[in-house]
Amino acid sequence: MEKEQTKNQQKNQKKSQKLQWHPAFCSALRLELLEDAENLEFTDEFQLTEKPLQIDCTVVKVKRDCKIKNEIGKIFRKHNIFEYKSPMDELNIDTFYKAVAYACLYKVLPNHVNEIPAEESTITLIRDRKPVKLMHELEKSGYGCKKETAGIYYVNGAMFPVQIIVSSELETEMHVQLKALTNQLNETVMRQYLLEVSAFAEREKNLADIVLQVIVNSNMEKVREWKGSERIMCEALRVLMADELNEERMEGQREGRIEGRREGQREGQIRAYASLIKDGIITVEIGAEKAGMSVDDFTKEMKKAGYVIPAV
């Protein structure tokens, strides 16, 4: 039992490491600042040099004097640099100095001297858990570190205005996009996230899909427990599990080709969808639709494959 648990933990850790946290963060940041989108320009993985040296995200105010409504933008000036750390990465004193170095390089990139004045740049460091050790190191180095509001800390005395955002401490209703980007997700945040996403226009939903794929795959065991409680969770998972669903379908097709029979391919496909239905990831109706069959024919095939049809 212990060996199996260790194996599952290693498997989940390996899968978590492969997740694309940084693209998800950039998408979440866009959604977080959606209300101010017309006043901001975003650039993901801003290229600092010809060699790989990239800022996670830059946010430039289109109108210098516009006021950002979202409280994480209270510190914003013209040019705003973001350094994001995933739940598996450490936000430490070297991260702080690296971000300052990035800001310096960013300042000197333009062709004209002082085209980007130092006083028009800010730095934001963000991670889901509070970097207690970093804050202690900053205070030891003579920097002030003061809590501005829930989840937002200002660092005083640096070359540029710096804020540290602890996404787990942010107010859920105001910052669910960033708060949900964690491998320690709770059901309340998940439901709030889905509720907000449901009201998005198509363009914003495309961004949300990137975030959903990461937060669900990094919290898979918890999501499996939640998804059966209400239909809305299953319907949301139908969207965010698209990649896994397609992978299962392709596996079924590969099995069919190996068997050399069209029937074997169909059975493999049915088994793949039936397995997802059994786990509560999709409904019978969705499985039938994906298989291109009627619900009655699909359920018959499921029974042939030895699967019990879940009660409605």
Cα separations (Å) of 203 from 34, 148, 160?
11, 32, 34
Q: Which residue has the tokens 């029979």?
A: 261
- Count the neighbouring beta carbons within 10 Å of the beta carbon of residue 225: 11
Helix ranges (DSSP H) in the chain: 2-18, 21-32, 93-108, 132-140, 172-179, 187-197, 202-217, 220-226, 231-240, 242-259, 262-278, 284-291, 295-304
Please state, in angstroms and rounded to a whole number, the distance separating the CA atoms of residues 49 and 19. Answer: 26
Domain boundaries, the chain: 2-182, 242-304
Q: At 80, give phi and psi (nearest 5°).
A: -130, 120
Q: Reduce the DSSP state of residue 80 to 3 states and report it.
A: strand
In the prediction, which pLDDT does 137 show?
95
Concatenating the DSSP letter of every residue in 91-156 gives --HHHHHHHHHHHHHHHH-SSSTTSS-GGGEEEEEEESS--HHHHHHHHHTT-EEEEEETTEEEEE
Contact 56, 25 (CB under 8 A): yes
Across the chain, which has 312 residues, the per-10-residue mean pLDDT values are: 53 60 90 91 81 86 89 95 94 96 90 87 96 96 94 96 97 93 90 83 84 85 69 54 53 53 59 67 72 81 70 52
Please state, in angstroms and rounded to a whole number, the distance separating the CA atoms of residues 309 and 303. Answer: 7
Contact 153, 164 (CB under 8 A): yes
Q: At 156, give phi and psi (nearest 5°).
A: -105, 150
Q: Which residue has the tokens 């209400």?
A: 230
Cα separations (Å) of 105 from 33, 53, 100?
25, 10, 9
Nearest CA to 266 out of 297, 312, 229, 226 is that of 297
In the prediction, which pLDDT does 49 show?
67
Contact 295, 301 (CB under 8 A): no
